[in-house]
Amino acid sequence: MRSSVKLGSVFGVPIGLNFSWFLTFGFVVLTLAIRVYPDIFPDSSTWLYWLMGVISGVLFFASILTHEMAHSLIAKAYGIPVKGITLFIFGGVSQITREAARPLAEFIMAFAGPATSILLAGVFGLLWWLTGGAEDEPLPVVLEWLWLMNLFLGAFNLTPGFPMDGGRILRSVLWGVTGNYRLSTHWASRIGQLMAYGLMLAGFAGMIRLIPFLDPVGSLWLIVLGMFLDSAARQSWRQVRTLEFLKAFSARDVMTADFSTSEAATTISEVAAGHPRALRSGGVFVVEDERVVGLVQGEALRSLKRDGWQTTPIGKLMTPTSEVRVVGPDEDAASILQTLESEDLSCVPVVEGGRLLGVVTREDVARLLAGHRELTT
């Protein structure tokens, strides 16, 4: 999920909005301002309904951000890098780059979100109670809506199917009890798919007016949400199988041993002419007196405009060896793929005892996976 609008960082976690979020935000504010609040106090002014709608909407999405922040901060505490939090059409998502290594860590990471929502429901509920809980005053009505929504958010996320938090909790418990990560993921994602079908079915029933309180927009939203959850559940299961397949290979099996090298002073155009593929998809090692001093990754190159290629020496784009992420020859391909993805690298050098053995590029891993898919489909 890409952020289209970046809002800045909180506790070192970048926060952003996907364009699809504006649709949901607009829908929430509109529903509150033109339907929900005018129904509760019919004789007030339009601007008050809109003001209450906007305040409710902003605080609701701030609550969702707080829920996601709880997942992200626990992940960081376990040493798992977090790329950021994005709000989108179905709420929020934390881009946590790796799965937890142990069931307990996964349990705590997953539970932190719903627990935060329920805590927020308690805080808004307490404020609602302190303001008297009147049904005809703006502040208590907004607070009441907020505690109800947070309670709903916490409860909905606890439903036990992947990719909901409840599905992760279920997987961590099954994983802890059986010790079988694969089987636990299989069950949690199957239940997730069943839930998704249930939502789609409810949506279709709403469409043909079988469920009286569901309007066409709500029904359509349920169908789309169901489709999204179904594909997310399938994807998490596919990802587990992919990583499992890659675990059987080591860096030594996957790496390319004839890596490309260049002198630091050589211009990028010259390197591009000599090693077109390495520059595009992998990396070029920079050597000085036959010693490797740095690495230029595909990303660094893409950050430079093409008209600078003629004059820029490749040494200018390199990351010095001391800062390059390397792996040992026995590290498995699954963990290498996760490193490439979580650190946004195009390749990672394979080093043993200070000696460069080769390089594993994303393409190397993709090729291995493509072969696997041909065999299994």
Residues that bind Zn ion (CB under 5 A): 113, 157, 165
Does the N-terminal peptide bond of residue 103 adopt cis geometry, omega within 30 degrees of 0?
Answer: no
Residues 6+ apart with CB under 8 A from 300: 317, 318, 319
CB of 302: closest distance to Zn ion in angstroms?
A: 33
- β-sheet bridge partners, residue 319: 295
Q: How far is the CB of 203 from Zn ion (least distance, A)?
A: 22
Tokens of 210: 């079988």
CA distances from 258 to 149, 255, 366 (A): 58, 9, 18
Would you list the DSSP string of 306-365? GGGTTT-BGGGGPEEGGGS--B-TTSBHHHHHHHHHHTT-SEEEEEETTEEEEEEEHHHH
Please give the DSSP secondary-structure letter assigned to residue 133.
-
Helix-helix angle 165-178:181-207, to 10 degrees: 150
Name the nearest CA neighbour of 66 among 116, 110, 29, 28: 116
Residue closer to Zn ion by CB (options 112, 365) is: 112
Contact criterion met (CB below 8 Å) for 290 and 261: no
Minimum CB separation of residue 172 from Zn ion in Å reads: 14
Instruction: 211-219: list long-range contacts, CB under 8 Å, 24+ apart.
Output: 217/27
The DSSP letter of residue 32 is I
Cβ distance to Zn ion smaller for residue 84 or 113: 113
Contact 18, 4 (CB under 8 A): yes
Judged by beta carbon, residue 70 or residue 326, the one nearer Zn ion is: 70
Q: Quick check: 114 and 166 in contact, CB under 8 A? A: yes
- Least Å distance, CB 154 to Zn ion, is 9
- Look up residue 146 and give its amino acid: L
What's the min distance (Å) between Cβ of 113 and Zn ion? 3
Cβ-based nearer residue to Zn ion, 117 or 361: 117
Token representation of residue 144: 């009441």
CB of 115 to Zn ion, least distance (A): 10
Residue whose tokens read 């010693």: 291
Q: At its nearest, how many Å lie between Zn ion and the CB of residue 67?
A: 5
Whichever of 72 and 260 has its CB closer to Zn ion, that residue is: 72
Smallest gap, in angstroms, from Cβ of residue 158 to Zn ion?
A: 9
Of 113 and 294, CB closest to Zn ion = 113
CB nearer Zn ion, residue 113 or residue 167: 113
Judged by beta carbon, residue 172 or residue 297, the one nearer Zn ion is 172
Q: Which residue's Cβ lies closest to Zn ion?
A: 113
Q: Where are the alpha helices (DSSP H) in the chain?
A: 19-31, 37-40, 46-77, 103-130, 138-157, 165-178, 181-207, 216-246, 251-254, 268-274, 276-281, 298-302, 333-342, 362-376
Specify the residue, 113 or 282, whose C-beta has the smaller distance to Zn ion.
113
Q: How far is the CB of 165 from Zn ion (least distance, A)?
A: 4
Least separation in angstroms between residue 25's CB and Zn ion is 19
Nearer to Zn ion, 37 or 111 (CB): 111
